[in-house]
Amino acid sequence: MEEIKGKARSVAVAIDGSDPSWEAMTRAINMARLLELPLDVLTVIQIRKAGYFAFIDRHLLEEQEAYAKKVLVEAEERCKKAGVEVQTHLLESEKGPSEAIVGWLEEARGVKFLVIGSYGHGFRGRHILGSTTERVIREVARLALPVPVLVVPSSSEPSS
């Protein structure tokens, strides 16, 4: 994605298929519509080595890819229903989702906002932010990326 004359080219949202990420997606769609910008939807597959058996690793990766593609198809449908132009991005990372999201932001130019849920599929018990969200915020600040991060709190009650 290239920046045109210093103007915003898109709103981005990072989703993982969890309820909080769909809440972030709804907010991102509304922002994109109000700002008359397309929406970049990011989802990440974390590549993990399960052990010595390559077929196990391949099977786990295939499951993650299938789930991620399902999430992106749902995201596209929601955007089209709302009349928002969308581009989906299936990212991969060995270290974690935050690394892939921040890496994409570093390469992308003209992202007006990154919208992300306060937490995703991971543990959330007494934490205010999930680890991925916290790392994304920290790295965007550390790298001084010119992309504000909007954290959308979940409307559901956390389980203890």
Q: What percent of the chain has pLDDT over 70?
A: 82
- Of 76, 97, 105, residue with least CA distance to 88: 76
Residue 16 one-letter amino acid: D
Tell me whether residue 103 is in a domain. Answer: yes
Q: What is the per-residue pLDDT across 16-69, written as a single tens digit (0 to 9) for each?
A: 999 999 999 999 999 999 999 999 999 999 887 666 665 567 778 889 999 999
Average pLDDT over residues 115-139: 77
CA angle 98, 101, 106 (to 5 degrees): 120
pLDDT of residue 51: 61
Tell me whether residue 37 is in a domain. Answer: yes
Tell me whether residue 38 is in a domain. Answer: yes
Task: For residue 143, give the CATH number of its domain.
Answer: 3.40.50.620
Tell me whether residue 4 is in a domain. Answer: no
86: containing domain: 10-152
Tell me whether residue 51 is in a domain. Answer: yes
Tell me whether residue 132 is in a domain. Answer: yes
- Total domain count for the chain? 1
Q: How far apart, in whole angstroms, are the C-alpha atoms of residue 51 and residue 18?
A: 27
Average pLDDT over residues 93-117: 94
| Residues belonging to the chain | 160
Tell me whether residue 160 is in a domain. Answer: no
Tell me whether residue 158 is in a domain. Answer: no
Please tell me the pTM assigned to this model.
Answer: 0.86
- Beta-carbon contacts of 90 under 8 Å, excluding residues fewer than 6 positions away, are 43, 45, 65, 68, 69, 72
